[in-house]
A and B are shown apart, each in its own frame.
Chain A
Amino acid sequence: MNPLERYASLVEDREAFFDACERPLPSVVRVNTIRSTPDRARQALDEEGVGYEEADWNPQLLRLDERGPGTSWPYFHGWLHGQEEVSALPAIALDPQPGEKVWDSCAAPGSKTTQLSAMMDDCGVVVGNDNNLGRLSALRHNAERLGVTNLVVTKQDGRNFSLKPFGFDEFDRAIVDAPCSCEGTIRKNPDTLDQWTLDHVHSVAAIQKGILSRAIQATKPGGTVVYSTCTFAPEENEAVVDHALETEDCEVVEFDNPLESRPGVAEWEGDEYDPSVEKTHRIYPHLNDTGGFYCAKLEVTA
């Protein structure tokens, strides 16, 4: 059975949902504002005859007509970075400011991390962490290519991340774009569900809870933590946020989501979650012609 059948009851338009999951994803690039502006990037693509369409919700995101992003001059110069459209959302929800200290707990390969740096005008500190050396090398390569200078790269287990090496002991903001069962990436990787098991969902959820807890603890009171996944499973989304609400000092806050979304679910297969999870966002592929996604914004209360 297709694991996505589990979620048929959550989407109003079953057919549109499954149809969208069958379609390949558009090729999207983000303009790297450390190196260029949307205007110049568009001009460079025009000069090269590369067709594109601007995402209506964000002028920094360009949907390319055809080829992948890797073979154009603006890409060569690090003006552009290939990034799935919906994955630009968590950084926007986090809203990092220049000069702040921000933790990206699961940073590699770095699309979101470098987006954070760009939003901060490459000032302040982004600590990009990952526990896999190979993935870290991709993060380093991407950051270097995009001209990012405010990134600290660390290799730690996010669940017991230590701030000891740095000259400070709390972050202003943190982002947990957690490892997940990746159901929402089905349009990019059609075989992503071949390995799907409920056991894996539960085991990855335990890791997600650990990392999110650490992110909340490592962020100053009044600071912001964003939790996101590219999966539909409530066990990895609302249940993880619910666990954080129960065990850590935090609350769910609203954010201005420019994409069409559905509220988080407060009930799933007999479990009930804190009602405030309805302020979190589920994004199904057919809503904005993107991958599937989940995004929650939390404020640290103590």
Chain B
Amino acid sequence: MSDPETGDTGENSEGDNEGDLQDNVGQRFGRLPATADDREVKGRASREEVVDFFAERFGIEASVFEGFTFWEKGKGKIWIFADEMPSPIRIEGLGMTVLRTRQEHWKPTHSAVERFGRHATKNVVDLTPEQAATFARGEDQDFPEWDGDWGYLIAAHELAGEREPIGVGLYVYDELRSTVPKGNQEALSVL
């Protein structure tokens, strides 16, 4: 493999070996293909799959993501950007992280849920003030009242008269686990 610094391998040299997918290069951002059929990098999710994921799991309409571009940097770490950029691009950051793919269950990021979670219509759990404070501290809690899907949910509470997402919860065995990142966890008042 040639020097990854030169950028002359990977996604942008696609086409010579038909059928052969390129390896993901972790140090730069590569734009997601529109659909799985357009895929040029092994294991890379497509834009369609990402948008479908948010629609199917949380009922967030595809139109919410119109105008945004999606990118991968690092294996399976998906970023959302408000505009266009050439791909691949070697920079430190491009928009905001939204999703981790490349595991069996895709996991939306805390920031994605905070920013786009208010568009969700399903798999949202409304927490009481006590439960919300527990969740924001990053603590797991018994949650037998949920009889919906297992897996990643959006935990929300009411603030200033409206529903506001707090973060990503993992629901398993009657328990709601908080995945609020350590740097965002906070001991907050019970409102």
Task: Give residues in A with beta carbon < 8 Å to B.
Answer: 34-35, 40-41, 43-44, 47-49, 70-78, 122-125, 128, 136, 139-141, 143-145, 147-155, 165-167
Query: Can you spell out 16 A-B residue pairs with CB atoms less than 8 angstroms apart?
Result: A40-B160, A40-B162, A47-B159, A48-B189, A71-B187, A76-B166, A124-B83, A128-B93, A139-B93, A140-B93, A145-B184, A147-B114, A151-B93, A151-B96, A153-B93, A154-B92
Task: Tell whether, in the assembled complex, residue B81 and residue A44 are in contact, meaning their CB atoms are under 8 Å apart.
Answer: no
Q: Which 4 A-B pairs have the closest CB atoms?
A: A153-B93, A150-B82, A147-B115, A43-B160
Assembly CA distance A37 to B68 (angstroms): 23
Task: Tell whether, in the assembled complex, residue B86 and residue A166 are in contact, meaning their CB atoms are under 8 Å apart.
Answer: yes
Whose C-beta in chain B lies nearest to the C-beta of A167? Answer: B86
Task: Tally inter-chain residue pairs, CB-CB below 8 A.
Answer: 106
> Contacts of B86 on A, CB cut-off 8 Å?
165-167
- Contact bitstring B148-185, A, C-beta under 8 A = 1, else 0: 00000000000111101010000000000000000110
> Contacts of A144 on B, CB cut-off 8 Å?
96-97, 111
Q: Is B5 an interface residue (CB 8 A)?
A: no
> Contacts of A74 on B, CB cut-off 8 Å?
159-160
Q: Is B32 an interface residue (CB 8 A)?
A: no
Main secondary structure of the interface of A (DSSP, over half): mixed
> Contacts of B115 on A, CB cut-off 8 Å?
34-35, 147, 149
Task: Tell whether, in the assembled complex, residue A70 and residue B186 are in contact, meaning their CB atoms are under 8 Å apart.
Answer: yes
* A76-B136, A77-B114, A166-B85 known, 16 other contacts, Cβ within 8 Å: A40-B162, A41-B160, A48-B189, A49-B189, A70-B186, A71-B187, A123-B82, A123-B83, A124-B83, A125-B83, A144-B97, A149-B96, A150-B81, A153-B91, A165-B90, A167-B85
Task: Tell whether, in the assembled complex, residue B81 and residue A149 are in contact, meaning their CB atoms are under 8 Å apart.
Answer: yes
Whose C-beta in chain B lies nearest to the C-beta of A122? Answer: B82
User: Which residues of B63-79 have CB atoms within 8 Å of chain A's CB atoms?
Assistant: 68
> Contacts of B85 on A, CB cut-off 8 Å?
152, 165-167
Task: Tell whether, in the assembled complex, residue A150 and residue B95 are in contact, meaning their CB atoms are under 8 Å apart.
Answer: yes
**Min CB distance, A89 to chain B, in Å?**
25
**Size class of the contact patch on chain B:** 20 to 34
Whose C-beta in chain B lies nearest to the C-beta of A46? Answer: B160
Task: Tell whether, in the assembled complex, residue B191 and residue A145 are in contact, meaning their CB atoms are under 8 Å apart.
Answer: no
Assembly CA distance A28 to B90 (angstroms): 36
Task: Tell whether, in the assembled complex, residue B93 and residue A47 are in contact, meaning their CB atoms are under 8 Å apart.
Answer: no
User: Which residues of B115-170 have CB atoms within 8 Å of chain A's CB atoms?
Assistant: 115, 136, 159-162, 164, 166
> Contacts of B91 on A, CB cut-off 8 Å?
152-154, 165
Task: Tell whether, in the assembled complex, residue A143 and residue B96 are in contact, meaning their CB atoms are under 8 Å apart.
Answer: yes
> Contacts of B34 on A, CB cut-off 8 Å?
none
Task: Tell whether, in the assembled complex, residue A148 and residue B161 are in contact, meaning their CB atoms are under 8 Å apart.
Answer: no
Assembly CA distance A81 to B71 (angstroms): 27
Most buried by A among B94, B164, B187: B164
Task: Tell whether, in the assembled complex, residue A149 and residue B92 are in contact, meaning their CB atoms are under 8 Å apart.
Answer: no
**Min CB distance, A166 to chain B, in Å?**
6
Q: Is B51 an interface residue (CB 8 A)?
A: no
Assembly CA distance A44 to B189 (angstroms): 12
Q: Is B188 an interface residue (CB 8 A)?
A: yes
Task: Tell whether, in the assembled complex, residue A147 and residue B111 are in contact, meaning their CB atoms are under 8 Å apart.
Answer: yes
Q: Is B84 an interface residue (CB 8 A)?
A: yes
Q: Is B21 an interface residue (CB 8 A)?
A: no
> Contacts of A124 on B, CB cut-off 8 Å?
82-83
Assembly CA distance A30 to B95 (angstroms): 21
Q: Is B25 an interface residue (CB 8 A)?
A: no
Assembly CA distance A124 to B95 (angstroms): 11
> Contacts of A149 on B, CB cut-off 8 Å?
68, 80-82, 95-96, 115
> Contacts of B161 on A, CB cut-off 8 Å?
40, 43
Task: Tell whether, in the assembled complex, residue B68 and residue A76 are in contact, meaning their CB atoms are under 8 Å apart.
Answer: no
> Contacts of A70 on B, CB cut-off 8 Å?
186
Task: Tell whether, in the assembled complex, residue A73 and residue B189 are in contact, meaning their CB atoms are under 8 Å apart.
Answer: yes
> Contacts of A73 on B, CB cut-off 8 Å?
136, 159, 188-189, 191
Task: Tell whether, in the assembled complex, residue B160 and residue A72 are in contact, meaning their CB atoms are under 8 Å apart.
Answer: no
**Min CB distance, B85 to chain A, in Å?**
6
**Min CB distance, B177 to chain A, in Å?**
18
Task: Tell whether, in the assembled complex, residue B191 and residue A78 are in contact, meaning their CB atoms are under 8 Å apart.
Answer: no
> Contacts of B81 on A, CB cut-off 8 Å?
149-150, 152
